[in-house]
Amino acid sequence: MIECIFTVDYEIYGNGKGALRELVYEPAEKLIEIFRKHNLRFVAFVEVAELEMIERKGTDAAIGLVKEQIRNFHRDGFELGLHLHPQWYNGEYENGRWLLDYDEYNLCILSRERIVQIVDRSIAYLRGVLGESGYMPLSFRAGNWLFQPTRTAGDVLAERGIKVDSSVFKGGLQHQHKLDYRFALRNGYYWTFRDYVDIPDPVGPLLELPIYTQMVPFWKMLTIKRIGLQRKGSSAALDGKKRLNRLLDYLRLWYPLKFDFCRMTINELSSMLERVIREDQKNPSSYKPLVAIGHTKDLIDFDSIEHFLSFLSERGIPVSTFERVYQKCLSSA
Ligand SMILES: [Zn+2]
């Protein structure tokens, strides 16, 4: 049995560039409209560090609209997930641009004390926005998918009440940040974990529902739509070391194609699903939750999303949320 969970990372660019109205608020409004029309819900991974800092320094007048939108998500049954880019917290705003603290880019390499500070602060901000002092999101996604090394950050999140992570994309590799999710390729559609996000632990306190990927020959990554969106996102030229690291990431014959409903064409989306449908026909009793990812800043092609939702409905594939699938995964993990 297959179910799809749509997740959208709710944020501007990771280097601080871009405006909330254009990159977050307006595209999210259109997405909500489409999902409401089909009576479906998605998970919004709200990047709280940037919102707190933008509000504190008063750098974007649309922050009020964004906070209102988050309250509307919550009220209308959309799920909120915690998304964190910790480089924002020591950020400074000078001469019209953000200078972020890249020493804190990966939450997982910071001291336990600092991780606790950051996690508590992020949850407190979300509670403040919602006006609910006891609110706790069910799910977490790390900034830039970096949930390695896992142990300390995972423990802190689990102690606070987070139960689901969706940072892993199987087959992922980023030399620059020492991310390596290739081990996860041997795992199933979901697993519990503790010390290593990519290694199942039957008594682990957290459930991993990875962003779905399929390994494809590298040339399949070169579609025009995806390249166009990547150019749009890379605002500064990469320096030599970063460019070399990026090149090393791409120098692979097989590459993990993320189930990205903003960057993939309708043909790519439907052929990705056809492959899972064929697999499911051989083994229909195994539960197959597929997590799709999108970004508000990449939301341009709403027609493809509408088509894809119709495709899922024709194929009888339900659209769900982490809150709805969590118990089902635990009871069959
Ligand atoms: Zn992000």
**DSSP secondary structure string, 54-120?**
HHHHT--TTHHHHHHHHHHHHHTTPEEEEEE-GGGTT-EEETTEEE--GGGS-GGGS-HHHHHHHHH
DSSP string of 23-52, one letter each residue: IIIHHHHHHHHHHHHTT---EEEEEHHHHH
How many whole angstroms from 78 Cα to the centroid of ligand 1?
A: 19
**From the CA of 179, how far away is ligand 1's center (Å)?**
15
Average pLDDT over residues 192-207: 97
Cβ atoms of residues 295 and 262 within 8 Å = yes
Q: Cα(246) to centroid of ligand 1, in Å?
A: 18
pLDDT at site 252:
72
Residue 165 sits at the vertex; the CA angle it makes with 160 and 169, to the nearest 5 degrees, is: 155
Return mean pLDDT, the chain: 93
Residue 217's pLDDT is 86
CA of 143 to the centre of ligand 1 (A): 5
- pLDDT confidence of residue 301: 92
Q: What digits encode the pLDDT tens for the residues 211-267?
A: 999 999 877 777 756 666 665 655 455 566 777 666 666 667 788 999 999 999 999
> 50 to each of 45, 260, 278, how far by Cα in Å?
13, 23, 42
Centroid of ligand 1 to alpha carbon of 40 (angstroms):
23
pLDDT reading at 25 higher than 90: yes
Residues 184-200 have a mean pLDDT of 97
Sign of the Cα pseudo-torsion (23, 28, 33, 37, in order)? positive
Global pTM value: 0.93
Q: Which two tokens stand for residue 10?
A: 């709710």
Centre of ligand 1 to C-alpha 191, Å, is 23
- For residue 13, report the distance from its CA to the centre of ligand 1, in Å: 8
* Cβ–Cβ under 8 Å, residues 325 and 209: yes
Tokens for 65? 């609209």
Instruction: Please tell me the distance between residue 297's alpha carbon and the centre of ligand 1 in angstroms.
Output: 10
What pLDDT score was predicted for residue 120? 98
Q: For residue range 94-106, what is the model confidence (pLDDT) as tens digits?
A: 999 999 999 999 9
Residue 316 CA, ligand 1 centroid: distance in Å: 31
| Alpha-carbon dihedral 65, 161, 286, 7, rounded to 10 degrees | 20
Residues 6+ apart with CB under 8 A from 142: 83, 84, 107, 108, 153, 165, 167
How far apart are the CA of 46 and the centre of ligand 1, in A?
9
